[in-house]
Amino acid sequence: MSLVVRNIPRAEDGVIDALAAFGVATVHEAQGRKGLLASYLRPIYRPCGVAGSAVTCEVAPGDNWMIHVAAEQCRPGDVLVVAPTSPCEDGYFGDLLATSLKARGVRGLIIDAGVRDIAVLTQMGFPVWSKAVFAQGCVKETLGNVNLPLVCGGALINPGDVIVADDDGVCVVRHAEAPAVANAARKREANEIDKRAQFEAGVLGLDLYKMRERLAEKGLRYVDEAP
């Protein structure tokens, strides 16, 4: 029943690197305000920021066997995405697995469960976004799937989708949409440079975005004193 898919699509390095540079908030906006994983997935250290191709790994609760299987499928530039089949916060991942993944060029881990050895992972500079920090060890008894689509942090992740993760959390970009999203992010960011300058100069969003008329139409009223 359990499958490992060897070949998955991967976006071009240039696109992935561009998405990493834009960061989660910009990428999320650029693709139409979609793709965020749940806010409970927090980085173990800050600042941090990576992007990479998703290798997906389904695990049983309290069982990290499949992470070893998934490690073999990872290539330089990948991000490993792990989700349990039911809610669990055990420490599926620690410094040995991080050493292994780092040696294979993996850029980080997204795990809808727990992580441990975070002092060492911090020293190593191996970033992890997790639901919990918890040292609880795992068994190796039950199979799962590697590189099939899964839901992590409430978002669907397909193998080969681009994962963007930074201090703000984690966002997924569909593999086929990654170049277009990178372009849209580029435009958005260019646009923001000018806006930032205007805000620094004291211009209000009310004026910059020409909001006053529509606010009045909707019925906003100003009074000098509290009623």
Using CB under 8 A, which residues numbered 137 to 176 contact a second copy? 137, 139-143, 147-149, 151, 154-156, 159, 166-169, 171
The CB-of-190 to a second copy minimum distance in angstroms stands at 14
Selected range binding a second copy among 12-20, 64-72, 179-187, rule: CB under 8 A: 64-72
Is-cis flag, bond preceding 179, omega within 30?
Answer: no
Residue 54 within binding range of a second copy, rule CB under 8 A:
no
Residue 85 within binding range of a second copy, rule CB under 8 A:
yes
- Please identify, using beta-carbon distances, which residue of 18 and 74 lies nearer to a second copy: 74
Residue 180 within binding range of a second copy, rule CB under 8 A:
no
The CB-of-186 to a second copy minimum distance in angstroms stands at 17
Residue 193 within binding range of a second copy, rule CB under 8 A:
no
The CB-of-163 to a second copy minimum distance in angstroms stands at 14
* DSSP-derived secondary structure letter, 224: S
The CB-of-196 to a second copy minimum distance in angstroms stands at 5
The CB-of-18 to a second copy minimum distance in angstroms stands at 17
Rounded to an integer, what distance in angstroms lies between the CA atom of residue 26 and that of residue 32? 10
Place of tokens 């930032």: 196
Selected range binding a second copy among 3-11, 14-22, 175-183, rule: CB under 8 A: 3-11
The residue within the footprint of a second copy, chosen from 10, 22, 28, 172 (CB under 8 A), is 28
**Which among 177, 183, 175, 169 has a CA at the least distance from the CA of 23?**
169
Q: Give the burial string for 151-177 (b: 16+ CB within 10 Å, else e).
A: ebbebebbbbbbbbbbebbbbbbbbeb
The residue within the footprint of a second copy, chosen from 21, 136, 177, 179 (CB under 8 A), is 136
Q: In angstroms, what CA-CA distances link 175 with 10, 17, 68, 107, 159?
A: 7, 14, 25, 17, 9
Number of residues in contact with a second copy under rule CB under 8 A: 102
**Contacting residues for 57 by C-beta, under 8 A, at least 6 apart:** 66, 67, 69, 70, 80, 81, 82, 83, 144, 145, 146, 150
Collapsing DSSP states into helix, strand and coil, what is residue 76?
coil
Residue 124 within binding range of a second copy, rule CB under 8 A:
no
Place of tokens 């990290």: 64
